[in-house]
Amino acid sequence: MINHETKHSILGKLFLDPETDKTIASFTTDRYYREELKQELFVILCKKKDSQLLNLFQKKKIHAYIAGIIARMFNSKTHDFSKKIKKPRQTTIDHVGIDLMENIVDRDDNHHKLMENTIREVSKLSVPDRIIFDFMLEGLTIKDISQETGINRSYISQMITRIRTELKYNIRKDL
């Protein structure tokens, strides 16, 4: 059995090793996903037995092992990372609604007021509405939000419509 310090040393070397980054980059060119993948990978590596990690490192098979882990992440239908790759991130404005932020560039005078109103109105949302709003900002689909919260899709859809309508009205009423 290796000591804790040796395991951290191995993980540190792997984290800084350009070969690790090269292996990860061979699976995706998206910088965000490479970072997510690297974090996910090191969580898995930290959970490995000390002796297994040392054995792989000493036999110089660690990068093949890393490539195998990454390949399983991509090919799995149930792994969270695989779901993120197959359903790419969407921009926040797409989910919240472009109509909430329209005319910001054209109306410099109202820009400050619009941003203040947005922050104020979002902070007034009830806890359940705020949770749904936060999921929207993260780019989750109605299906994803439903799975995450356990609330059926049609009710999630109604909540999103109501939240958008209320925010749009309340943000603009003082302008």
How does pLDDT run across 98-144, given as a tens digit for each residue? 444 444 444 455 666 777 788 888 888 888 888 888 888 777 888 88
How does pLDDT run across 26-77, given as a tens digit for each residue? 877 777 778 888 888 888 888 888 888 888 888 888 888 888 888 777 666 6
SS3 string of the chain?
CCCHHHHHHHHHHHHHCHHHHHHHHCCCCCHHHHHHHHHHHHHHHHHCCHHHHHHHHHCCCHHHHHHHHHHHHHHCCCCHHHHHHHCCCCCHHHHHCHHHHCCCCCCHHHHHHHHHHHHHHHHHCCHHHHHHHHHHHCCCCHHHHHHHHCCCHHHHHHHHHHHHHHHHHHHHCCC
Q: Is the pTM of this model over 0.75?
A: no
